[in-house]
Amino acid sequence: MLSTEELRRLCELARIDLPADGGAALQHDLDRVLGWVAQLAEADTEGVTPLTHPGDPTLRLREDRVTEPDEHEAFQRTAPAVEDGLYLVPKVIE
Amino acid sequence: MSAPAGWEVVIGIETHAQLSTASKIFSGASTAFGAAPNTQASGVDIALPGVLPVLNRGAVERAIRFGLAVGGTVAPLSVFARKNYFYPDLPKGYQISQYELPVVSGGAIDIAVDGSHKRIRLTRAHLEEDAGKSLHEDFHGMTGIDLNRAGTPLLEIVSEPELRGSREAVAYAKTLHALVRWIGICDGNMQEGSFRCDANVSVRRVGEAKLGTRCEIKNLNSFRFLEKAIDYEARRQVELIEDGGTVVQETRLWDPARGETRTMRSKEDAHDYRYFPDPDLPPLSISPAWVEAVRGSLPELPSAMGERFVAAHGLTDWEARTLTASKALAAYFEAVVAAAGGDAKSCANWVLGELSALLNRLEVEADASPVSPAALAGLVHRVRDGTLSGKAAKEVFEAMAQGEGEADAIIEQRGLRQVSDAGALAQLVEAAIAANPKLVDDYRAGKDKAFNALVGQVMKASAGRANPGQVNALLKARLG
Amino acid sequence: MHALSVAELSVALRERRVSSEELTRLFLSRIARLNGRLNALVTVDEERALASARAADRRLARREAGPLTGIPIAHKDLFCARGWRTTCGSRMLADFVAPYDAHIVERLEAAGTVHVGKANMDEFAMGSSNENSYFGPVRNPWDAARVPGGSSGGSAAAVAARLVPAATGSDTGGSIRQPAALTGICGIKPTYGAVSRYGMVAYASSLDQAGVFAHSAEDLALLLTAMAGFDPRDATSVERAPEDYGRALNAPIAGLRIGVPRQYLGDGVSPDVARAVRGALDTLTGLGARVVEVSLPNQRLAVPAYYVIAPAEASSNLSRFDGVRYGHRAEGAADLASLYRRSRSEGLGPEVQRRILIGTYVLSHGYYDAYYRQAQKVRRLVADDFARAFEQCDVIAGPTTPTVAFPIGRPGTDPVQMYLEDLFTIPVNLAGLPGVSIPCGAGEAGLPVGLQLIGRAWDEAKLLGVAHAYQQSTDWHRRAPPEEP
């Protein structure tokens, strides 16, 4: 069972607000799904290499060349808050 | 500063070396420093929806160079992973890094502190992307985000916790700094953040086997700060423990203005980075042929070159290490020796003495020296053949530094040629003896000082140009 | 005219029996008449569509036209297209105008297609019913009370209702094949790496693959030939010589070994679907193919493996939606943490939030090995099952979905029940194989049933050949939903 504390922690990691109802329905849904996927443990995967990329390819590389022009004006046209070319966020304290 | 009495300071260093590629690690945007905000942030760098990373071959090549230079293992297959956390300078909400399988593992850096040598083993070196910058100047109480630096290629080099005290830490950082510049993978510019060190510092009582709880100190953008921050942090931890407290594992920030470390508030909450293999990037395969090609392109490494200087030229260990602190200086030295046709010891003295002082004064590297290796070799030659006295040679060097021309021209122009003609010197000696009978008597009575005074008289009469060795010999012979 | 296939329209255009402008106006008028009810398209740009139709007509006049010049199409709204909003069916991107074109948008534009607009979808491609769109559910043209399937439900409904002759889609766990089946049209999900993902907003990067909907295997071949191909901007795009996916359309299927997994026509498949699929297999046997039984023993664990892997990748892929550089930003957030939390909570719908949280859980410390790594190992087992099965057969066939289209707002909202809709399609994505769904009969209430054909990697041309042979001797693909149901 997913504890309320665990749900709170997941929401914090994912930067999602806990629902106004305290998350009972959400907790129930997640429990249902996580309980169901837990059946994966039944598979005998001893010695099996995980398949992370279909076809098991290796990485193709690009040459070290500057190819991208300055497009910040186009990129920032849809930005919610910009000033002097900078994206603005509430004050960050280090 | 040494460790507080009875305590040992244990340090491991994580270095972020910015790789000197033209474009970013996963995009074709420029890495040039100092552009206007976000003008070098491509769609990939600002994480537009739908864009994808493609790895820069140049970054991988530099990682291989490093792996070979430190004697590490270059992984035939390494994996890029996502490190997930939210921060405004991290546009994707994850950093592409390497986790379980880094590109380089093992290797070592040899350091020297106070004449004794120590080998510091490396844990690993992995490729990753840099984050952007948060600018805290006031934008109506907001923070501005510049993503020009986002996606700049970094090699994170992790040492084992084998450094003891801030001096070793600084020696390690300096040696590593010289090496990455030497092999041409990083410009080493610390002001621009191209070479950044984080120090993991812990303390334990001398004799204790177990490591203490460590704190990671960030924002160490100079060797001086590295030393001061470690000393401060070690003192803080020792005082804390001696007062009955315990060290809490945390990330701390060096505050150069206050000269102290402090807790980083933004790193306060414990992280769970949820690393997993990046599905956009299949594993990186590096063939043996590629590794060998890179090996073939590596320059002679500073350690090997230093050993060669000791063996071939009879230089001291200190001289060899100092000459190989930068590739430019070492190349300069080798050029001087070649042009001078030997006499490496004198060449080393000049390079490490007058030339280094000049370069420091001008704040330039040896490859930008106003005195060329050939010119310096010409000067060394004139000292060796007796044309110049040591004093006159320094005058000639200064004139060369001022751009007055080659050594021979300056010698002629200023009349600095040493008088070595036996007949001419004999006349000067005779004149000095004749003019100073008292000194002659004193010398004969056993006063050695009087002999030096006679030499001085000869030098004075020659306007400093008489060959002092010959004068000595002539006087000795004449006075019996 | 609107009932013709792309291949037929292509001939009509080149024989100048119709102009692209006329054709585009025809489909635009159908959109104006029918889209309000279906909610299949979320963006329609008449002006731009007509401008590119006229450009296509000029090329047709100069005889510089290719087979797709002048053909109107729509794009699933997760392909970025410059100047149009790319919403992904989400409030988060409701106003996001992409500053660039996706690779397939570029390719299809270069091929001369006329882009009329963007199709509704389950939010960020997460769903099997198209009920998860911020812009409201899409309705099935066969029965407006039923779902069209998802997540590419808008594209499928638009093609099924003949609002456009073809539309692009994306398929992560069945999001092309399942809606194709439920709306009675054809859809193909190519081999992973065949079509560039550049410009396709990611859901689960190792599973996402772009594909296309149309009315015939021949049409799929024409469109896929234009869309597919190497793209250096996607590191998972496979570098291969360009191919003509229609090259095997007329290859005989006599002697072809069709593998039918014993798990595919048993429990969990409704009888009407099983009956239609058996009928299709009989037809193929009649054409000379041979049915062999194969086994995919790890099939059962494919869906749970998918619901670990896809949410894990999604939880990370969707972190970029933070209200800072684009997309929805909550008003008046006092600090950074609340800006993030509120922007994401307001901007992302409940199913998306649920999958992000599941993904966060399975990757988190202490659970990674048991969930994520184990799921990737099971994924290997699923892929190995296919490899073994293909030692005994040339293609695998079975139902695309367990049932025909189900009602919108089906009661008992158990997320797991919805996930099992993709029981037959998900294993194909896990293995990165090509899959096609073609209509093969009528089930309950006369609703369409889909036949899924699965091939070895890069066997698209063979799959399309089998589908084409089937369509040469049947007419299920020509059946259209009632105009005013």
Name which of C210-214, C262-266, C361-365 the model is least confident about: C262-266
**What is the least distance, in Å, from the CA of B111 to any CA of chain A?**
33
Q: What is the pLDDT of residue B460?
A: 84
In the block, which residue shows the tokens 């070979």? B68
Judge whether residue C131 has pLDDT over 50: yes
Say if CB C184 and CB C148 are below 8 A apart: no
pLDDT > 70 fraction of chain C, expressed in percent and rounded: 99
**Chain A residues within 8 A of B62 when measuring between CB atoms:** none
Does A89 reside within a domain?
no
* pLDDT given for residue C201 in this prediction: 98
pLDDT of residue C52: 97
Check CB contact under 8 Å for A84 and B37. yes
Q: What pLDDT does B100 receive?
A: 95
Mean of the per-residue pLDDT values of chain B: 92
CATH classification of C6-258+391-478 is 3.90.190.20, yes or no? Answer: no
**H or E element, residue A66:** none
Which domain, by its residues, includes A22? 4-41
pLDDT at B391 over 90: no
Measured between CB atoms, does B262 come within 8 Å of chain A? no
pLDDT of res. B385: 83
As a whole number, mean pLDDT of residues C146-150 equals 97
Q: Report the CATH fold assignment for B422-479.
A: Arc Repressor Mutant, subunit A (1.10.10)
Which chain A residues in 40-59 lie under 8 Å from chain C, judged by CB atoms?
A: 40-43, 45, 48-55, 57, 59
pLDDT, position B269 = 55
DSSP C204: S
Question: Pick from C78, C235, C312: which is nearest to B276 by CB?
Answer: C312
- Please determine, for residue B1, whether its predicted confidence score (pLDDT) is greater than 60: no
Contacts of residue A12 in chain B, CB cutoff 8 Å?
269
Exposure string over B306-339, b if 16+ CB within 10 A, otherwise e: beebeeebebeeebbbbbbbbbbbbbbbbbbbeb
Residue C38 has pLDDT above 70, yes or no: yes
**Residue B268 pLDDT exceeds 50:** no
Cβ–Cβ contact B437 with A under 8 A: no
Residue A28 at interface with chain C, using a CB cutoff of 8 Å: no
Check residue C484 and give its pLDDT: 67
* pLDDT tens string B320-379: 999 998 899 999 999 999 999 888 999 999 999 999 999 999 989 899 999 999 999 999
A82 to chain B: nearest residue by CA? B144
Candidates C122, C125, C132; CA nearest to C200 is C125
Query: Which band of pLDDT confidence, cut at 50, 70 and 90, is reported for residue C485?
Result: very low
Question: In chain B, where are the structural domains located?
Answer: 7-292, 300-414, 422-479
Active site residues of C: 76, 151, 175
Amino acid at B297: S
Domain membership flag for residue A21? yes
How large a percentage of chain C has pLDDT more than 90? 94
C418 pLDDT tier (thresholds 50, 70, 90) = confident
ipTM: 0.97
In tens, the pLDDT along B229-265 reads 999 999 999 999 999 999 999 999 999 999 999 998 6
Helix, strand, coil percentages for chain C (3-state, nearest 5): 40, 15, 45
| Residue bearing tokens 């859980």 | C361
Q: In A, residues 5-24, which contact C (CB 8 Å cutoff)?
A: 6-7, 10-11, 13-17
At residue C296, does pLDDT exceed 60?
yes
* Partner-chain residue, chosen from A10, A36, A49, that has the shortest CB–CB distance to C357: A10
Residue B267 has pLDDT above 60, yes or no: no
pLDDT of residue B432: 87
Residue A35 resides in a domain: yes
Q: Is the pLDDT of residue B128 over 60?
A: yes
What is the count of structural domains for chain A? 1
User: If we measure between CA atoms, which residue out of C265, C278, C255 comes closest to residue C395?
Assistant: C255
Q: What is the pLDDT of residues C111-121, one digit of tens each?
A: 999 999 999 99
Give the residue on A whose Cα is nearest the Cα of B262.
A94
What pLDDT is attached to residue B266? 55
What residue has token string 């037809």? C283
What is the tens place of the pLDDT at every residue in C149-204? 999 999 999 999 999 999 999 999 999 999 999 999 999 999 999 999 999 999 99
pLDDT in tens, A45-76: 999 999 999 999 999 999 999 999 999 999 99
Distance from the Cα of A37 to chain B's closest Cα (Å) equals: 19
Give the distance, in angstroms, between the CA of residue B413 and the centroid of all CA atoms in the same chain: 39
The per-residue pLDDT of chain C, averaged, comes to 96
Q: What is the count of residue pairs from A and C with beta carbons less than 8 Å apart?
A: 165
**Closest Cβ–Cβ partner in C334, C342, C364 for A13:** C364
Neighbours of chain C (3+ CB pairs under 8 A): A, B
What count of CB pairs under 8 Å joins B to C? 101
| Residue A61 within any structural domain of the chain | no
Taking the Cβ of residue A37 and every Cβ of chain C, the question of whether any pair is shorter than 8 Å is answered with yes
Residue C237 scores a pLDDT above 70: yes
In B, which residues are within 8 Å of C372 by CB distance?
276
